[in-house]
Structure 1
Amino acid sequence: MTDITIDPTTLKPAELAPFIQHTLIELGTTRDEMLAHIRETVEYGFNAAMVPASWVPLVAGELKGTGIGIASALDFPTVGVMTSAGKAAEAAEIARLGATQLDIGVQVGWLKSGMYDEFREDIAGVVRASGLPVKVMLELPRLTDAEKEAAVDLAQEAGAAYLKNASSGAIETANPDSIRYLVDRAHAGVQVKASGSIKTYPQAVSLLKAGAVLLGTSAGIEIINDTGDDSTVSY
């Protein structure tokens, strides 16, 4: 959780680094590529390295003592396919391996089926098992207005530390409207992370101005160098 108090409209590109979770979740990433990603995270002073669970031990070892977060995603990129028990067990294992925070997919189908208790418990099980700050990827564009309200409430009842608009750019390009929606409904102590095709410095600033405190993106270096290109793919 960032503790920096800012006026986002005054931030220069390089000053965004503490709010960016530097993401590398591409299929087939090699050890050398992951080590390069870790070096970038340290060099630029990003908030965290967001990596697949299988790479958490390497990343945790390399980032030890830096104060930089080790983030991983669960029930992702295919969201909502794990059993709740399996999800909780994997969350505990990822925490044991050295992760300091988790982003998790939700059971959209359960929500749409009115299975609110099951939806809530799926998230709560991860919170309890991991003992880590959990960011809940709500997939807002897939929900009706009523489902959005329910998802936000249930995630917070389950102990979410962060509300997140979407899991990736395949679901939504992060935008100020979605971020303000979550900020306006966040309980005391619950914060908002923006995710989904965040590629440019102006876009990043607009999301922080809307109330996000974290930005998940694979284009962090381009953003802080103000060389981002809207045509590139980014988580």
Structure 2
Amino acid sequence: MNKSRVKLDLIRAEGSYKAYLCCCYLSEKNDYEKVLSYLHEQEYHYYNTLKFEKRMRSYLIGRFAAKQAISALNGEKNLSDIIIGSGIFNQPIVVSNKQNIKVSITHSGNLGAALAFPEAHPMGIDLEIINSQQREALEGQVTEWEKQQIISLPFAYDAGLTLLWTAKEALSKVMKTGLMTPFHVFSIANMERSKHFIMCYFEHFPQYKALCFPAGKYMCAIVYPLKTELGFNLYELVQYFSIIL
């Protein structure tokens, strides 16, 4: 079981906030069994209703990453005291009497990540493995303009398609719609290249932007408000991903 936590400073003109990103990699069966002890009684009851191993594992890795991130933000030491329920659109709901904390959860295979942040400052995260077998499905969710943009990126074509998907899915989590909304609503209006990441701007949601970066065989996107600056070292964050894999 490997895990890491990174503090994100959310810097705005009117003040600042902080968030925590937790990444974890559970590679063995006993890693998942260990996570069971961190579940609250309510979560454990829900876990026992799950029938398929893939869903059971994704639930455990997502909850473990989320609890680690929440613990870092609100100081709760006992992870089993942190309850993460589900809203009517299956969005994660943090039950806490300490702060108004929100969490965004993502997982792909044995890798999970979660962002814990204050309710006042919405954010979202998505993580996907880069897989050429998903090319046709991902191409169906992008515009011709977006295709032309990713061809010019310093990534393989499939990595570019995955980048667009993660940016849009992370925004859908901020909007609390998930995959129930057609992805063309989340179309990209502009993309800016930097040394370690690509910044995406949305056509219909100009109040948000997505910081997208590759980490090994994965692509990750963090969506946050347009006028917020993230105070952290992205190179260091990518190294965290590399270390835990």
TM range (shorter): 0.3 to 0.5
- Larger strand percent: 2
TM-score (norm 1): 0.35
- Larger helix percent: 1
TM-score (norm 2): 0.34
